């Protein structure tokens, strides 16, 4: 079999496996799309852009490392450090979002059965006249997608670096482009497919009575994804 073809097939296969076995690649998008009521198209665009950033970060690191004469072991070490950083970033984002979920729950009237001394003064003074139509309104906040993008730019692709090193060291431009395209395309398509399935599947589940907890649940799920990535090597 042609060496370039074999390299491309291997890159595509590893891209698929790498993504499926890493829940952090798709779980945050699924839970946030449900909590923030993103449309399918918005969810897919956010996933796509985050995926491009995810692949781009490792490609730049790999090619830049070869150009600067950095050895494979050092690049793999850098990727492992990036993985630890991203794990902490996911935990920080998830924890912060969970706190936001608690605040929003109280703000939207979840505190009705709580004693007054447990309710923040500012929330006690708020008027709770949010209509049903407002509750169904899609979230338009731009901050959350940017946070996801930044996290995924830092996210490592450990299996991509060794594959890039081989053709890059031999100055095989076609090999570098092929590995990048096949690995990147497969990874992004797999991410989008899993997010779409998760988004579609969650829409079939009747969660209306529990929607007031969705932001809190999303934050906790993302926090757990960070724990899994940092401590379990997802």
pLDDT tens profile 96-131? 999 988 888 887 665 454 555 555 555 555 544 444
Query: In the chain, where are the structural domains located?
Result: 3-124+138-231
| Lowest mean pLDDT segment, chosen from 26-40, 42-56, 62-76, 147-161 | 62-76
Higher model confidence: residue 59 or residue 168? Answer: 59
Residue 65 Cα distances to 18, 136, 161, 163, 168, angstroms: 22, 48, 10, 13, 10
> Mind giving me the DSSP string for 74-135?
HHHHHHHHHHHHHHHHHHHHHHHHHHHHHHHHIIIIITTTS-GGGS-HHHHTS-----HHHH
How confident is the model over 39-65, as pLDDT tens digits? 999 999 999 999 999 999 888 888 888
């Amino acid at each position: 079999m042609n060496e370039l073809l074999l390299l491309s097939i291997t890159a595509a296969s590893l891209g698929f496996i790498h993504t499926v076995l890493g829940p952090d690649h798709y779980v945050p998008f699924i839970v946030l799309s449900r909590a923030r009521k993103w449309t399918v198209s918005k969810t897919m665009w956010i996933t796509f852009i985050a995926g491009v950033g995810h692949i781009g970060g490792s490609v730049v690191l790999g090619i830049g490392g070869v150009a600067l004469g950095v050895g494979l072991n050092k690049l793999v070490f850098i990727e492992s450090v990036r993985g630890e950083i991203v794990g902490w970033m996911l935990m920080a984002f998830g924890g912060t979002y969970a706190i936001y979920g608690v605040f929003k729950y109280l703000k939207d009237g979840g505190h009705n059965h709580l004693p007054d001394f447990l309710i923040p003064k500012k929330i006690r003074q708020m008027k709770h006249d949010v209509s049903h139509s407002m509750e169904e309104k899609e979230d338009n906040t731009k901050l959350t997608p940017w946070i996801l993008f930044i996290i995924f730019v830092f996210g490592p692709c450990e299996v991509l670096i060794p594959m890039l090193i081989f053709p890059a060291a031999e100055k095989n431009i076609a090999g570098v482009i092929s590995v990048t395209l096949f690995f990147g395309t497969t990874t992004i398509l797999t991410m989008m497919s899993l997010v779409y399935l998760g988004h579609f599947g969650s829409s079939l589940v009747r969660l209306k009575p529990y929607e007031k907890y969705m932001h809190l649940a999303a934050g906790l799920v993302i926090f757990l994804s960070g724990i899994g990535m940092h401590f379990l090597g997802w």
